[in-house]
Structure 1
Amino acid sequence: MPEALPYRPMPLDLDDVRYEHGPDSSPRPGVAAGTTIELPWRSEVFPGTIRTIWIHVPAAYDPDEPAGLLVFQDGWWYLDPEGEIRAGIVLDNLVERGEIPVTIGVFVDPGVVEAAEDPTLRKNRNVEYDAFDNRYGRFLLEEVVPEVRRRLAITDDAERWGIVGGSSGGNCAVTVGWHFPERFRRVLGFVSSFAQIPGGNPYPELVRATPRKPLRILLQAAHRDLHWNEPDHNWLAENLRVAAALVEAGYDLRFVLGDGGHSPNHAGALMPDALRWLLRER
């Protein structure tokens, strides 16, 4: 039987749209809140940078049963219970009801260059997230993940390791999955900034020219993302190009096109269902 979806009128104004969050984006009665560990971090892969990392452990975690791992870029933006994403709350709700396996959330802030006096030079986010190389994945695998595993039991099953991000964090998530599919096989990117990868967006041609990697990918894009109707540096067009290449190459892909602009709002509304889809067994 086909699944019946509730009727929702299509907004006529594509710019000023706000998606309402569902019940799994707020604390549910009877669901115990997880525990969050906050860690200051100095990176060796990105020398001279400092940042904060949060490890969110759902209440159902059992050290005798290794958990899955989800790494979120722009850490506090995604963890903040008053923000748009509220991923810690979502993890607590979905894990409690058994809708996803027990999964540890690791929320990593972008680096800040400690010695830089110019505020614009202090931000290392674009350097880390937009680069098409393996440095950020190495940072996670060589620095962050070992610290998580020192504290918690994490499965070796790459099918239960995922990486999540939005805007530049979205293409960062795809890049980590691309370079390290033996570890991160579940990828979630919201309004990804493929358009500002230095040297241009490599993925449409690269995906078509490379044997398919064992990745499951969910991409969300917005009709009115940055430069949506311009020939260059078009966020919408570059997301469409990447999605088309992944479809043609036979990837396990879910592509969600929403209204509105370059905003985390739609990502927050989608997060519970996105994680259900991303972390399903088959």
Structure 2
Amino acid sequence: MSLPYAPLPVSQDAVDYAYGPDSTPQPGVVPGVVEQLRLSESERFPGTSRSVWLHRPAGLSAETDCAVMFFTDGWWYLDPAGDVRGGIVLDNLAARGELPPMVGVFVDPGVLAGEDPPAKNRNAEYDAFDDRFASFLLEEVLPLVEERFAVSSDPMMRGICGGSSGGNAALTAVWTRPDAFGRAITFNASFAQLPGGNPYPALAGTGSPRGFRAFLHAAHRDLNWNRREDNWFAENLETAAAFARAGYDIRLAVGDGGHSPNHGGVLLPDALRWLWNAPSGVSGV
């Protein structure tokens, strides 16, 4: 494979990556159908409510055994005018058979009841190193998906994607619940702010490999990139290195710029293609 030459930017700070064609609506690609649901309460996160959007690509039958891809930060990742444009990406890749039949599930972080102004429960949900968020998806969100679609029970047919603290949630989901999640994407994850510090460099080589596949992204000018402590950039590199040494199937992409969703959004089509590894025209993985 020969890749075209692309010069490195001189400055690594104010870098803005241009979106490729998979991140914009394409001629002949029929947009998928999006359904918004409202969860007015939660057992795993009492006192919270949130919205969830289900994305079904054109042509997907409710009877088709399908994969499911969860996205943290719901609307932020689905917004067609936003930095990630998840629905557009799923439509374009599905139209070319580059993903298995798949439902996209975009889950907003919880909002705490009684707060004025409304306060998000995002960090409590995404930065906790335990199985609560993964179990919330499995017990409170997935049943809503299963009411509408024939979702596969195979963990390798279930993935999760997130950025910043959402990246923490994605990796923690596959780590704590490998019985239910087999694929993860993390964009400039905030491993440095996990309570008690980043556990993954020490844990990656312990026990039997959990068998998941992960695409990780690091931003060279992420928060505290040149400091000894709380270094977002270094923590992502060290996490990727630890999983590589432990024999996990990972891919690491490093870009310039700071703690921004821009590069992750640009990478999403390629991250999904690699994560699911379905050659063009293949309907399943």
Tell whether the structures are fold-level matches, with TM greater than 0.5.
Answer: yes
Which deviations, in whole Å up to 9, do the C-alpha atoms of 1:28-82 show, x marking residues without a partner? 1111110001011121110100111000010121223211100000001100000
What are the equivalent positions in structure 2 for 1:26-41 lying under 5 Å apart? 26-41=24-39
Q: Is the partner of 1:71 in helix, strand or coil?
A: strand
Q: Alignment partner of 1:151: what SS?
A: coil
Matched AA of 1:87: G
1:254 lines up with 2:251 in the alignment: yes
- 1:154-198 superposed Cα distances (whole Å, 9 cap, x missing partner): 112222210000000001100001011121101000000000001
Q: Which runs of 4+ in 1 moved over 2 A?
A: 116-119
Retained in 1: the 8 A contact 2:49–2:111?
yes
**Code of the aligned partner of 1:26:** T
| Offset from partner CA, 1:130-169 (integer Å, 9 cap, x none) | 0000100110011000111011111122222100000000
Structure 1 residue 143 and structure 2 residue 134: aligned?
no
Q: Normalising by structure 1, report the TM-score.
A: 0.96
Gaps in structure 1 of 5+ consecutive residues: none
Query: 210-219 vs 71-80, which deviates more?
Result: 210-219
The range that moved more, 124-133 or 56-65, is: 56-65
Aligned mates of 2:266, 2:117 — CA distance in 1: 36
- Report the equivalent of 1:75: 74
* Equivalent residue, structure 2, for 1:5: 3
Residue 258 of structure 1 deviates from its aligned partner by: 0.3
Q: Following superposition of structure 1 onto structure 2, how do residues 1-282 of structure 1 map, counting pairs within 5 Å?
A: 3-41=1-39, 42-117=41-116, 122-281=119-278
Name the % identity.
Answer: 55
| Displacement of 1:118 | 5.9
Q: Secondary structure at the match of 2:49?
A: strand
Root-mean-square deviation (CA, aligned residues, Å) is 1.1
Q: Is the 8 A contact 2:68 2:151 kept in 1?
A: yes
* Count of aligned positions: 278
Structure 2-normalised TM-score?
0.95
